[in-house]
Structure 1
Amino acid sequence: MASQSGGLPVHQAIARMLLANDVHTVFGLMGDANMFMIDYFIRECGGTFVAAAHEAGAATMALGFAASSGRIGVCSVTHGPAMVNTITAMAHGVKASLPMVVICGDTDTEDRYHTQNIAQREFAIAAGAGFEQLRSPRTVAEDVATAIRRAVAERRPIALNVPLEFDWRDADGFEPVKVKFPEARALVSSSDDIDNAVGIIAAAKRPIVVAGRGATSAEARNSILKLAERIEAPLATTLKGKDLFQGEAFNLGIFGTVSSPAAVDAIVESDCILAFGSSLNTKTVSAGSFLKGKRSIQVNLEPAEIAKNFRADVGLVGDPAQVADLIVHWLDEAEIPPSGFRSEELRDRLAQPEPLNPMDNGDGTVDYMRSLVELDRILPANRLIVTDVGRFMLKVWTTVHVDHPSAFVSTSDFGSIGLGMSHAIGAAFGAPDRPAVLFCGDGGFMHGGLAEFNTAVRHNADVIVVVCNDGCYGAEQVKFHYKNMDFGTIRFDWPDFVSTAVALGGEGVRVQSEADWSIAEQAIRARTKPLLIDVRFNPTRLPLF
């Protein structure tokens, strides 16, 4: 349908801009300020629209899509309360550095007393997101392109505000524009910084090489492996670089507050940290204690990440692969011997498994760590792992593995529970060849998962939900424990999650004894719908943290 003047209406121009920029999936909820754009995007542009149960879920799905696909996530909502409902997701997206455009309808400018009228810009800015106003029907292409460019360049959500009165106006002279981004391939050439870095590495007796999410490409991984082998340094990753070196010799696993005891010992012994593609945040360096008494070198393609959290002795702005190759070149030129830190004694320490308890607790619950080991075994090998927030997540990070960091999505950046289900749905659309496995607590599932489980059913998303069910809010239970207080006020008699999952259109099984794991394994293999696995734990027998 044409605009009132016979040309292309604004809502159609917006849809065509999305298509021109390879956006084929939009998450959202329809309302009077966005329904015509979504309808056109589906019918005429061949796009996929994932209709969430709530705007908070829709925006979080777009973040999950961005996290698993490496592309921009797009969410569309109507005005007023719908836009406000996306704020938690926007704040999380800012902290997680995820590119997302939230296309927000806005109340007709002339309708001052409209019930849903609110200052939408202020809400977006308060969340830390960027804000772009669709200025006029003539500037649709430029304004949408600017929102997309900013989301990618700034690595955060951008709210694009579209006044309702523009919807059916003629986008005069509209031509779709594809946003182009330059390839970032900075290389550190000869400089004092590279000389200092090589000097620090040459003097190190116990160096450790750490890789973050910014150094997870195949090229970067290979170059970092060569460097670590050249200097005989153990390997580690940040949380978001999880499992990049899985299966490699002298792999310490995650470097940070969740490091294994053997890894912590090696980190404490080390005298040099060489970090690639990491911002070295406070959790990675254990509030600075893991850098104390050590020389440090930070390599990152993003200049803003250098010294963002802790100041390294040397900061190198450059492509991680090329910088690693350059360091190896100069070490070879100077005939620097390896450190010798990769000893047989260290290898044996790292290979020593942590002792496990029996599976059955004898009270209708199962052992937490044994359960995670079993889940690591029976879940699909090509899985995506998504973790909600809660006490349960820390051991999931270190025990349940993925084949590449891009297959791991943490929702902990803002510390909000309940974002996992929506992230998992978005991640399933972002990487449709992989099943998305969500680990969440019982409180987190009730907080946000319950509302969107049926969304996964309606859209046939390949999602497996593991509910770590201890019948309480676990993090609060820990704090009550430390204060010797009764934690009965944070215990809950939740509904039966298995029958709830079935009622919502999915499948469900319960695990509360060792014999139940074979049933769960069969359910995983035979699933035809979103599957919920309710694993029962005793809250007093879980690791405190």
Structure 2
Amino acid sequence: MLFHEAIAWALSDHGVTTVFGVLGDANLYAMDSFQRQAGGKFVSMSNEAGAVLAANGYARTSGRLGVATVTHGPALTNTVTALVESVRDRTPVLLIAGDTAVVDRENFQNISQRDVVVPTGAGFEQVRAPWTVDEDLATAVRRAVLERRPVVLNMPVDFQWEQVERSPAPRRWPAPQAVLPDPAVMDEAVGVVASAKRPIILAGRGAAAPDARKALLHLAGRIGAPVATTLRARDLFRDEPHDLGIFGTLSDEVALDTIMRSDCVIAFGASLNKWTTAEGSALEGKKLVQVDLDRVAPARHSGVHVGVVGDAATVAEDLVTWLDEADVRPTGFASPELAERLAARSGQDFKDRGTDATVDIRTALMRLESTFPKERTLVFDGGRFIHHAFRLLRVPEPSAYVHTVNFGSIGLGMGNAVGAAFGEPARPVLLVTGDGGFMLGGLAEFGSAVRHGLDLVVVVLNDGAYGAEHIQLRNKDMDPEISTFEWPDFGPVATALGGQGFTVRDRAELDEALAAIEHRDRPVLIDIKIDPDAVPAVGR
């Protein structure tokens, strides 16, 4: 068969059913073969960055490999920020990039594509010859899955019409396995846990699987510990009576008080970065046991008393067994009184700062939380609004949350939201973004969401400015005019793109727009006007 047919069938052999991309002359025929012959689905995106971001969002919600494709030169350079984001996200993504022909020295889209990719932290694999396509694709897929990062497969355009004889390459990587901890290290860990009077169990993204959740709750019950999560594992313990919520910088008053009174943190699959530890203050004066499959994870960010290499479920159950054998009694730190204090949290004790032409950001988010279906996929873009959104919006489980601020960029939410909708089509997707992020990376891909008929609601918290920069200028008594914008109303723009748009300036319009979500039959955009001078600091 022809090379472009062979790569399409090779993708199918590896279980790939969906590819996000932008077509060009170096990937056009491969994607045509993928859809028409191999039975896959090609999802057209509006820009190349959006294609990689969609593959990232798809991987996060489906648990499968995300796949994207672009053509050569500027198409690949357009993906750089998205590649860095996926590298930082540790998401398995395969990007099939076309390349110019080696003999075509004068092609004005020539660039050293390996040199573009490598600085992003992504892997790079070259299709070496037309007849090595099966092996090269299999290598790229294996690396993306095992290394948990994007890998770019570079595909010269002149290979597409070469005749090849296929040599399908089987999957060549082991299934996930339980990792048993070292008994000597476990003995140290048990000693620390057994001596604790006020322990807390902390779960990160590496402990967000259902089996780990069950094991961690078993351990928490055994030692009488409240539970908490990192931002990336948010809502793993939702509805548990002693769930503190997000640990560290984003902790509420009750959770923060409990954290500060604790004397031991047992962390599973959490990197313990400066946000989780509140610059280290949340761990000060405490014994720390850190459990992770990655042997270099313990003490990467915080000093630990015991670092245990092993998977979360196995280590948690082993700790219970050892504690039972030693007849260690529960601490009682997870008390009925603590459960009552946690249940009484409302987050609604604030003075509404809305006006006749704007809505208080906290009011908008709490109304959104209470009216949007609880079975949702939640995607955040970056922006000044995000700390309030982190605290006030929730998900049914960690896999329903797609994080897009690993690189500190705005404008990455919409592409992820499109991919997330394909990855878990049974759940509606809620994207919360700022006006700057929507204009930078959301407007074009909202059109993609309409084109593909996705169940997506976009909420734009619109302060008419780059809010973080606006408040910096304000705080220094400088004129913030250069940080402000005269955007069009996004509601009519969304309608013009084929969606359903609403412009919200007060509580009545907010309620009307939120009520319309219940009857949505196309992507919806709600443009909520926010006063840039009335966005309070978190906790105020």
Bigger shift: residues 86-95 or 363-372: 363-372
SS in 2 for 1:418: coil
Letter of the 1:11 counterpart? H
Listed as ranges, the matches of 1:341-490 within 5 Å are 341-350=333-342, 351-357=344-350, 361-490=354-483
- Would the alpha carbon gap of residues 93 and 531 (structure 1) be closer, same or farther in structure 2, given more than 3 Å must change? same
Q: Does 1:329 align with 2:321?
A: yes
In 1, Cα distance between equivalents of 2:512 and 2:345: 31
Letter of the 2:406 counterpart? D
In 1, Cα distance between equivalents of 2:387 and 2:56: 21
User: Displacement of 1:543 after TM fit?
Assistant: 2.0
Q: Quick one: which of 251, 263, 279 aligns to 2:243?
A: 251
Q: Does 1:222 align with 2:224?
A: no
Bigger shift: residues 241-250 or 339-348: 339-348
In 2, Cα distance between equivalents of 1:154 and 1:196: 30
Letter of the 1:503 counterpart? A
Q: Quick one: which of 197, 203, 209 aligns to 2:189?
A: 197
Question: Which residue of structure 1 lines up, in the alignment, with residue 88 of structure 2?
Answer: 95
Bigger shift: residues 271-280 or 483-492: 483-492
**Equivalent residues of 1:358, 1:367 under 8 A apart:** no
SS in 2 for 1:253: strand
In 2, Cα distance between equivalents of 1:484 and 1:273: 42
1:17-63 deviation line (CA, Å, top 9, x unaligned): 11011111101111010000001011111111111111111111111
Letter of the 2:535 counterpart? L
User: Displacement of 1:190 after TM fit?
Assistant: 5.7
Q: Quick one: which of 249, 252, 257 aligns to 1:265?
A: 257
Q: TM-score, normalised by structure 1?
A: 0.96
Question: Which residue of structure 2 lines up, in the alignment, with residue 121 of structure 1?
Answer: 114
Q: Quick one: which of 154, 158, 161 aligns to 1:161?
A: 154
1:144-165 deviation line (CA, Å, top 9, x unaligned): 0000000111111111101111
User: Displacement of 1:496 after TM fit?
Assistant: 1.0
Letter of the 2:328 counterpart? I
SS in 2 for 1:364: coil
User: Displacement of 1:410 after TM fit?
Assistant: 1.2
Question: Which residue of structure 2 lines up, in the alignment, with residue 507 of structure 1?
Answer: 500
User: Displacement of 1:380 after TM fit?
Assistant: 1.6
Q: Does 1:11 align with 2:10?
A: no
SS in 2 for 1:305: coil
Q: Does 1:280 align with 2:266?
A: no
Letter of the 1:435 counterpart? P
**Equivalent residues of 1:360, 1:514 under 8 A apart:** no
User: Displacement of 1:223 after TM fit?
Assistant: 1.0
In 2, Cα distance between equivalents of 1:313 and 1:450: 49
**Equivalent residues of 1:97, 1:155 under 8 A apart:** yes
**Equivalent residues of 1:186, 1:301 under 8 A apart:** no
In 2, Cα distance between equivalents of 1:101 and 1:309: 29
SS in 1 for 2:266: strand
User: Displacement of 1:129 after TM fit?
Assistant: 0.7
1:288-331 deviation line (CA, Å, top 9, x unaligned): 22222111111122334333332422111212112111101111
Question: Which residue of structure 2 lines up, in the alignment, with residue 309 of structure 1?
Answer: 301
Letter of the 1:74 counterpart? V
**Equivalent residues of 1:276, 1:320 under 8 A apart:** yes
**Equivalent residues of 2:353, 2:534 under 8 A apart:** no
Bigger shift: residues 255-264 or 403-412: 255-264
In 1, Cα distance between equivalents of 2:122 and 2:223: 42
Q: Quick one: which of 136, 141, 144 aligns to 2:134?
A: 141
Question: Which residue of structure 2 lines up, in the alignment, with residue 78 of structure 1?
Answer: 71
Across the aligned residues of Structure 1 and Structure 2, the Cα RMSD in angstroms comes to 1.5
Letter of the 1:407 counterpart? A
**Equivalent residues of 1:506, 1:531 under 8 A apart:** yes
Q: Quick one: which of 171, 192, 202 aligns to 1:179?
A: 171
Letter of the 1:356 counterpart? D
Question: Which residue of structure 1 lines up, in the alignment, with residue 287 of structure 2?
Answer: 295
1:444-490 deviation line (CA, Å, top 9, x unaligned): 00001011110001111111100011111111123223323221211
In 1, Cα distance between equivalents of 2:477 and 2:325: 61
The answer for unaligned runs of 5 or more in structure 1 is 1-7
Bigger shift: residues 20-29 or 180-189: 180-189
Question: Which residue of structure 2 lines up, in the alignment, with residue 4 of structure 1?
Answer: none
Bigger shift: residues 181-190 or 91-100: 181-190
- Would the alpha carbon gap of residues 523 and 128 (structure 1) be closer, same or farther in structure 2, given more than 3 Å must change? same
In 2, Cα distance between equivalents of 1:206 and 1:511: 47
In 1, Cα distance between equivalents of 2:117 and 2:275: 27
Letter of the 2:339 counterpart? R
**Equivalent residues of 1:185, 1:318 under 8 A apart:** no
Bigger shift: residues 460-469 or 187-196: 187-196
Question: Which residue of structure 2 lines up, in the alignment, with residue 107 of structure 1?
Answer: 100
Bigger shift: residues 290-299 or 344-353: 344-353
Question: Which residue of structure 1 lines up, in the alignment, with residue 490 of structure 2?
Answer: 497
1:54-113 deviation line (CA, Å, top 9, x unaligned): 111111111111111111111111000001111111000111101111101000100112
- Would the alpha carbon gap of residues 306 and 138 (structure 1) be closer, same or farther in structure 2, given more than 3 Å must change? farther
In 1, Cα distance between equivalents of 2:7 and 2:382: 35
Listed as ranges, the matches of 1:223-242 within 5 Å are 223-242=215-234
Bigger shift: residues 280-289 or 179-188: 179-188
Q: Does 1:519 align with 2:512?
A: yes
Bigger shift: residues 145-154 or 362-371: 362-371
User: Displacement of 1:250 after TM fit?
Assistant: 1.6
Q: Does 1:211 align with 2:213?
A: no
In 2, Cα distance between equivalents of 1:305 and 1:541: 40
In 2, Cα distance between equivalents of 1:279 and 1:190: 20
Bigger shift: residues 468-477 or 34-43: 468-477
Q: TM-score, normalised by structure 2?
A: 0.97
Q: Does 1:540 align with 2:533?
A: yes
**Equivalent residues of 1:66, 1:99 under 8 A apart:** yes
Aligned residue pair count = 537
Bigger shift: residues 489-498 or 513-522: 513-522
In 1, Cα distance between equivalents of 2:376 and 2:347: 24
**Equivalent residues of 2:181, 2:308 under 8 A apart:** no
SS in 2 for 1:477: helix
In 1, Cα distance between equivalents of 2:300 and 2:156: 37
Q: Quick one: which of 20, 28, 41 aligns to 1:27?
A: 20
**Equivalent residues of 1:359, 1:514 under 8 A apart:** no
In 2, Cα distance between equivalents of 1:187 and 1:153: 16
1:213-239 deviation line (CA, Å, top 9, x unaligned): 111222111111111111111110011
**Equivalent residues of 1:391, 1:544 under 8 A apart:** no
In 1, Cα distance between equivalents of 2:179 and 2:140: 29
SS in 1 for 2:55: helix
SS in 2 for 1:158: strand
- Would the alpha carbon gap of residues 354 and 528 (structure 1) be closer, same or farther in structure 2, given more than 3 Å must change? closer
Letter of the 1:199 counterpart? G
Letter of the 1:57 counterpart? G
In 2, Cα distance between equivalents of 1:406 and 1:481: 38
Question: Which residue of structure 1 lines up, in the alignment, with residue 332 of structure 2?
Answer: 340
